[in-house]
Structure 1
Amino acid sequence: MAIADCTLQVDAGLQAEAEDVVREITRFDAEVTAIAERRAAREGEDAATELAPLASVLLRTESASSSEIEGVTAGARELALAAIEAKAGPNAQLVTANVNAMQRAIALAGDISVDTLLAAHQALLDRHVYASPGQLRDQQVWIGSNALSPHTASFVPPHHTRVPAALDDLIRFVHRVDLPVLVQAALAHAQFETIHPFNDGNGRVGRTLVHAMLRQSGVTRRLTVPVSAGLLTDTSGYFQALTDYREGYTETIVHQFINASFRAIGNGRVLVDDLENIFERWNERLIARRGSAARRVLPHLLNQPAVNVAYVESTTGVALSAAQRSVEQLEEAEILQRTNGNRRNRVWIAQDVIDALDAFAERVGRRCYRTHSPKDGPLDDDPER
C-alpha cells in the first residue's frame, strides 16, 4: 500500500487530541529545559551542560522501553554498568545499542531518508550478523508463526524486492507538511512496520523514526519523550493497532500513540522531579567546594549512576588522583556506594538514581509480557521480524 500521496480523512476529535498531545510534548520539553537553566544560573554552569544528563536519561528510558516491547529487558543497574563497560549481559548490550540507534536517528532528523533508517539499524544491530545490520532484507519474512512457511502466519510483509520502492514512498510521506504531526508519525510508524524492511530490529528502528519525525517537525527540540514507555503499558493494544492498520483501519494506531504520549509525559515528569529532588539532596549532603571534581560529576550521575575512577577522570578532566579523591568524597557523603571489593576494577553506584529509574519502570505497569533472549537469535513470531 503506497501512502505518499494518499488523501487522509482524520476525525476532527482525534485530530484535536493529537494536537493536544503535541502541545504537551512541547511544554514538557520546555519545562525540563527551564529546570536545567535555573540550575545552571544558580551554579554558574552552562545550561546545555546541566540539561544533558536529563536529556540523556530520558533517551535511555525510551530505548529501554522500546527494547522491552520486543522482550529484550535489562534493569537500570545493569544498563548503568553496561554503559561503563562493566560486566553486562546480552540484553543490556542490546539496549545500549538501542540508545546509539536512537541518537543516530535523531542526529539525522534534519533530513530523514532511507539512509537515516539504515544508519539506525546499523547502530542497533552492529554485532549481530544474522540481522544484516544496515542492510535491507533480501528474503521473505513473516510474523506470528513458527512454521517453516508463511501459510499460517498472521502477517506476511511485502516481498523483499518491493521494499526499496515502499521505503521511498514512506519517506515521501514523512516529508509531507499537510498533516498533524503526531497523526503523521503514528501512520509512518505503522507503515514502516508493515513494510518490515529488515531481517530483525524493525520494531525498535520503527520507533526511532517517530522520534526523528518529532525532532524534524520541531515538536521536540532537546529531549526524547519516552513514548515507548507509554506503548509498553499496553503492548497487546499496540500490536492490535498495527494489525488494524494493515486491515485498513488507521485510527487505532493514532489512538495508541496519543494515549502512549500522554502516559509518557506524565511518567517522565515524575522521573524528572525525582531526579531533581535527588540532586538537591546530594548538593546539601556533599561537603566539597564549588567547582570541585566531586561537584562537577554530580549532574552526570543522574544519567550514568554507575561510575569508576576512569569515568570520573574523563568526565571532569581532572587528574587521576583528583578523580579518586572525588569518588571518596561522594562515597563519604553516601551518594555513591561500592559494588565490589576489587580495588583494581572498583565500580560505584548511585543507588538513589537506580531506585528512581526502577520506579519509572514500575509505573509503566506493562500488561502483556513476552520473553526473548538475543543469544537465541531472532524468533519467527517476534513482532520485529
Structure 2
Amino acid sequence: MLDHVETEIPARIGALSPPLTADTAALCEAAGQGVVSLDAGPGRYLSSLAEFLTRTESVASSRIERVYADLDDLARASLGEESTRSATSTLAATLALRELTESCDDGAPLSEGAILSAHAALLADDLLEHRAAGSYRTQQNWIGGSDFTPRNAAHVPPPPEVVQDLMSDLVDFANRDDLSPVAQAAVTHGQFEAIHPFNDGNGRIGRGLISAVFRRRGTTRRTVVPIAAVMLADVDTYFDRLADYRAGDVEPLVRYVASAAMTATEAAEASAERLAALPSLWEERVGTRRGSAAQTLVGTLLEHPIVDIAAVEAITGASRARSYDAIDAVEDAGILHEITGRSRNRIWVAADVMDEIAALEERIGARTRPSARWR
C-alpha cells in the first residue's frame, strides 16, 4: 500500500558554479563559438533564418511531448484558419519560445514574469490547462507512473509550496555573467525540469530557457539554435541526462547540451546556406520583370513563407487582381503550393522553406542514435 511519497527538492544553485572538468569547459567554449558563428550569418537573410529556426525548434520541442503537427496544418493555424489541436498547440509553442527568448534581447535579465508570460502564451487555448496558464502549480505533480498515483514515478518534483523560492533562485542563477553561457543554459534547463513548476508545459518552457539564456548572454542576437531537434532524435539519452542532473551529477547534462548545440549549429549552417540561395533561384524561375508584384512577392517568401491573399496584397501593394496574378505566376513556377484545396480563404506556402524544416530534422537525426521509444 502506498503510504507516503518522497519528493525530490533540488539544491539552490543561485550562487553555485557547476564543477566542470577542463575538457567539458573546452567543449562548452567550442559550442558557444559555433552558436555565435551561426548567429552572425548572412545579414540580409538573418531575420528569415531566425524565423525558420524558431519554427523548427518549436516543432521539435512539441514532438518531444508527442504533439505531432503536420506542417500544412501548422501553416493554416498560423493564419488563423481552423486547424488541428496539435497544430494550434505547436503554434502556441512557437509564440511562447519567441516571447521568452525576446524577453532577453540586448542582454535584458531573465525574469519570472517572462517565464510565466511565455507559459500563458503556451497554454492559453489549451482545453484542459488554460485555467492554470501563466501560474505556478498549486498541487503535487510527478513524471511517469500513472495519472492517478506517483507509484513507480520516474521523478516526483518538489511540493508546490517551495516552487516560488526555487524559481527565484533559478532566475538568479540564469542572470549571472561569470559562467560559460552553454553551461549556464544547460544547468538552467536541468534545474527547471527538476523543479517542474507547472502542471503542464514544463518541457517546452524549459527547453525555451536554453534559448533565453543564450540571448541574454549575447551568444545569439537573432537566431534560435534548434537543440530540441537533437533531443528529439534521441530522447532516451536526453531524459537520462536530466535524470543524472536530478541525481546530483551536473556534468553529463552540460556535456550533452554542448554537444547538442554543436550538432544543431552545424546542421543549421547547412540550412542557412540553402535558404540564402533560394531567392535568386526563385527570381530566375518566376522570370517576370524586376519590380513586378511577382518578383516582390518572391523576395519576401523566406521571411513570410505562409501567405493568403491579404498577406500578398500587403506585401506587394498591388490590387487584389494583380496580387492573384502574382500568386499564379509564383505558383506556376513551382515556388508556392496551395494547401487548402478550396476556392475561398486559400493559403499558400513556399514549399522549399517548409521542406527544409524536415530536411534539417533529418540531417540532425542522421547524426545521432534513433530513440527506441519511437520504434
Same fold (TM over 0.5): yes
- CA deviations 1:246-294 (Å, max 9, x no partner) are 1010011111101111111121112222223332211111123333332
Q: How does 1:1-385 map to 2 (within 5 A)?
A: 1-33=11-43, 36=44, 50-109=45-104, 110-128=108-126, 130-131=128-129, 132-146=132-146, 148-339=148-339, 341-365=341-365, 367-368=370-371
Cα distance, 1:340–1:176 mapped onto 2, change above 3 Å: closer
Cα distance, 1:342–1:151 mapped onto 2, change above 3 Å: closer
Shift of 1:357: 2.3
C-alpha contact 2:58 2:90 (8 A) present in aligned 1: yes
- CA deviations 1:23-59 (Å, max 9, x no partner) are 11101111243xx2xxxxxxxxxxxxx4322211111
Cα distance, 1:204–1:370 mapped onto 2, change above 3 Å: farther
SS at match of 2:154: coil
Shift of 1:368: 2.4
Unpaired runs of 5+ residues, structure 1, are 37-49, 372-385
Match of 1:40 in 2: none
Structure 2 distance, partners of 1:147, 1:349, is 40
Amino acid at match of 2:47: A
Amino acid at match of 2:370: R
SS at match of 1:31: coil
Shift of 1:349: 3.3
Structure 2 distance, partners of 1:134, 1:315, is 35
Structure 2 distance, partners of 1:196, 1:362, is 30
Cα distance, 1:341–1:127 mapped onto 2, change above 3 Å: closer
C-alpha contact 2:143 2:153 (8 A) present in aligned 1: yes
C-alpha contact 2:101 2:215 (8 A) present in aligned 1: yes
SS at match of 1:111: coil
Runs of 4+ in structure 1 deviating by more than 6 angstroms, as ranges, are none
CA RMSD of aligned residues (A): 1.9
C-alpha contact 2:177 2:217 (8 A) present in aligned 1: no
Q: Which moved more, 1:299-308 or 1:104-113?
A: 299-308
Amino acid at match of 1:127: D
Shift of 1:299: 4.0
C-alpha contact 1:181 1:214 (8 A) present in aligned 2: yes
Q: TM-score, normalised by structure 1?
A: 0.87
Unpaired runs of 5+ residues, structure 2, are 1-10
- CA deviations 1:332-359 (Å, max 9, x no partner) are 3232233455322233333233332222
SS at match of 2:289: coil
Structure 1 distance, partners of 2:257, 2:266, is 14
Q: Which moved more, 1:328-337 or 1:299-308?
A: 299-308
Amino acid at match of 1:367: P
Structure 1 distance, partners of 2:362, 2:77, is 21
Structure 2 distance, partners of 1:278, 1:251, is 41
Shift of 1:304: 4.1
Q: Which moved more, 1:290-299 or 1:169-178?
A: 290-299
Shift of 1:370: 5.7
Structure 1 distance, partners of 2:322, 2:36, is 40
Shift of 1:228: 1.1
Q: Which moved more, 1:322-331 or 1:288-297?
A: 288-297
C-alpha contact 2:27 2:259 (8 A) present in aligned 1: no
SS at match of 2:358: helix
C-alpha contact 1:181 1:217 (8 A) present in aligned 2: yes
Count, aligned residues: 356
- CA deviations 1:81-124 (Å, max 9, x no partner) are 32223342111111111110011112211121111110110111
Structure 1 distance, partners of 2:317, 2:310, is 10
Structure 2 distance, partners of 1:77, 1:340, is 9
Q: Which moved more, 1:293-302 or 1:260-269?
A: 293-302
Cα distance, 1:149–1:342 mapped onto 2, change above 3 Å: closer
Shift of 1:241: 0.6
